[in-house]
Chain A
């Protein structure tokens, strides 16, 4: 409210904003993409099965999707991962696989938003996931003689992520992340990271499995390792995500249209 009425005539302001991708300002996308690239230099863990190490950037791809939305998030993560592949080859692995993983993680995370005109997106994403799982597991069992139990146990993070995404748990994730309760935010971030990172692993795993064709013994060896790595991503995702979301709310940054926080 203005205490002393201005002398000038009030004008109609047409709010223009800046250039956007899917409602997220390009400037936000640029800086988060650059953050992803910067974090590609920092190795965090080693993923034997995918043939590379796990840079710290992997822990924030889902968060980027929640901050920017599915499409803008996928662009930021994808471009960041792509540039990261060239400037930090020590954490890159197979470049295309790294980029695809980044895109999928952010896209899936951003798609968890509840109550929007895009609620139906879960269906084609789920179908794609099912196809990937069928190809992944099918190849293992049919061509490579891997036992069913080893596939089920070895692909634990993949099918649980797919299941949790297909079920209404995905909308629960977005409700929790947008909650003012920090405990719920943390839970949402943890569960959401499990889902998004798991789905990314599923797609990446499907592609790399067609290259590597790991025998059963490798599946068995990786059974305890892969879930621990995904759990690691969840822990890191919670630590980073709670801090970032609290900070974004405190700064009062203009929220992108498709943001989930």
Chain B
């Protein structure tokens, strides 16, 4: 058994102003060379646990601390953080905040300079760590020029340069697109497998952790609920669901198959395992293709949003959109997907008149956008940006919701009525007098949505609403979009988390490098996996399993969700909702 690099013994911790402990009686051993995954819902204590490895908890925050944390033989309460920083490298969630220097090499050198490593040694380490994270030759680049994935890899490199015993990563991919997330996971996996770096990673990315991690620790309400290899934890599907966690799609699929009566001795946790297991099952079954559960909105009359040969070139010469044409009708639920830089936001900004076409035309309800002002359009097209904090301007929730209405000369009675409706719709009546920033992030997003709904727009656009959210938070927001759609609104969601959208969107517009690659119903678009791969989008595992089944049986199976795949294989149709 490899030696322990770090140990937690009966650790409990309370922040200075909190009334409840964030960590409770945590006892844990991290072994040299292992890849440990930390999973748990938001608020479980994962970040606090991560920060306890290098003494930031509790030395930086204060509070009450019980038990002991030992890293590389050092008690984290008896050595200053600057000493512990030699042994523990930490990479946090936000790629922007953790880069403080004006060039890549300075970023790597920063910790080494603080630790008084001699200049020659710093110079020697820089190219080595850049090579380890595949950023060779970028020494002089400004961090602003790097993509999200590159920034996180730089943060990893900066920590690697210190040669820590342990690398701790707290949700390093939650704010990245699929390309960036893949880069980070593959880098970290390489560091672990080839260089033997010990890794502790907190993450909601179940599919990736299932592939990479040697062991998982499940946290809830500050306590360890269970630990073991991914095959042990992720297969406890009911436990995962009870804690509002999402096991890999492939695991859920086989869980449903087991519930349907199939004999599945071991639930697979990786896609390869799943594909290997599903093929024999599929050939033994009479398959039933899924019923189309969502009825697309009727397409009569002129479209609500009409885009005709739209081209947009930015001032710096970047052609962000090339000859895009599409129509969106009233009552549709549309997913716009694509990697960063594909043109999604540029497209949507034309609907809002934040950008004007270089060529082509955009019409809202048959009126060209150039004939409408942004403020007029805002009453018809609501936009919820990714960062809710940029959209909060007032000191109470109620004022925030009424904010725009006051400036639009709405009658006082009407302002009051609409504000009440929005508060009620978003479940914010109890929070009306609270400062929006005092609310948790998820509720802040609801405040912004409520504020936009108060304008009673016909179209609501959600730009990356699930980024940075855990599974429960993401589902909550998407359920809101479903409610809006059911109420007759036209909903447009931009996201690259395709696995979340299978139950919501009717239609998918796939963008890639400014070109509209595909505009099709979701069942068609999600199954064009080659097309999705060409724009670095990852279809849900359920889709990939369904394709494996199709390949084995020769029967097309346009399933989107684990439940649909399981239902398709069950040799009789069961009307089970997803």
Contact = CB atoms under 8 A, between A and B. Distances in A.
B66 A6 contact: yes
A207 B77 CA distance: 53
Contact of B67 (A9, A13, A14, A243): A9
Contact of B63 (A8, A13, A17): A13
Nearest to A242: B395
A246 B392 CA distance: 13
A149 interface: no
Interface stretch (B7-15, B377-385, B508-516): B7-15
A64 to B, nearest CB: 19
A2 B68 contact: no
A15 B59 contact: yes
B10 A7 contact: yes
Contact of A247 (B61, B63, B64, B395): B395
B125 to A, nearest CB: 24
Given A6-B25, A246-B395, A252-B17, A13 B438 contact: no
A6 B68 CA distance: 12
Interface in A1-20: 1-2, 4, 6-18
B25 A250 contact: no
A211 interface: no
A184 to B, nearest CB: 15
A142 interface: no
Given A10-B65, A247-B437, A16 B80 contact: yes
Contact of A6 (B12, B58, B100): B12
Given A10-B64, A11-B68, A246-B435, A2 B21 contact: yes
Contact of B81 (A11, A16, A30): A16
A33 B555 CA distance: 62
A230 B106 CA distance: 42
Given A247-B395, A247-B435, A252-B17, A10 B66 contact: yes
B407 interface: no
Contacts of A18: 60
A18 B14 CA distance: 19
Contacts of B255: none
Interface in A239-256: 242-243, 246-247, 249-252
Interface in A208-245: 242-243
B344 interface: no
Nearest to B396: A246
B431 to A, nearest CB: 12
A10 B10 CA distance: 10
Nearest to B19: A1
A79 B10 CA distance: 46
Interface residues of A, number: 25
Interface residues of B, number: 34
A190 to B, nearest CB: 17
Contacts of A246: 395, 435
A249 B434 CA distance: 11
Contacts of B11: 8
Contact of B437 (A8, A12, A242, A251): A251
B484 to A, nearest CB: 28
A8 B10 contact: yes
B262 interface: no
B437 A250 contact: yes
A247 B59 CA distance: 26
Contacts of B61: 15
A15 B66 CA distance: 15
Interface centre among B9, B61, B66 (most CB of A within 10 A): B66
A243 B394 CA distance: 7
Given A1-B19, A11-B65, A11-B77, A6 B395 contact: no
B24 interface: yes
Contacts of B60: 15-18
A10 B77 CA distance: 11
A19 to B, nearest CB: 10
- Which among A7, A11, A18 has the highest number of chain B CB atoms within 10 Å? A11
B9 A8 contact: yes
A12 B64 CA distance: 8
Q: Which of A1, A243, A250 has the most CB of B within 10 A?
A: A250
Contacts of B63: 13
A61 to B, nearest CB: 22
Contacts of A14: 59, 77
A161 to B, nearest CB: 29
Given A6-B12, A10-B66, A16 B59 contact: yes
A9 B61 CA distance: 19
B395 A13 contact: no
A7 B60 CA distance: 23
B488 interface: no
A2 B14 contact: yes
B314 interface: no
Nearest to B67: A8
Given A11-B65, A13-B63, A251 B438 contact: yes
A250 to B, nearest CB: 3
Nearest to A17: B60
Interface string B1-35: 00000000111101001011100110000000000
A221 B443 CA distance: 53
A8 B66 contact: yes
Nearest to A252: B17
Contacts of B77: 11-14
Interface string B383-421: 000000000011100000000000000000000000000
Contact of A9 (B25, B66, B435): B66
Contacts of B58: 13, 15
A22 to B, nearest CB: 19
Contacts of A10: 64-66
Contacts of B62: 13, 15
Contact of A13 (B64, B68, B435): B64
Given A8-B11, A247-B435, 4 more contacts: A1-B19, A2-B20, A8-B68, A10-B65
25 contacts: A2-B12, A2-B21, A4-B24, A6-B12, A6-B66, A6-B67, A7-B12, A7-B67, A8-B68, A9-B10, A9-B68, A10-B64, A10-B66, A11-B66, A11-B68, A15-B62, A16-B59, A16-B81, A18-B60, A30-B100, A246-B435, A247-B395, A250-B395, A250-B435, A252-B17
Interface of B: 9-12, 14, 17, 19-21, 24-25, 58-68, 77, 80-81, 100, 393-395, 434-438
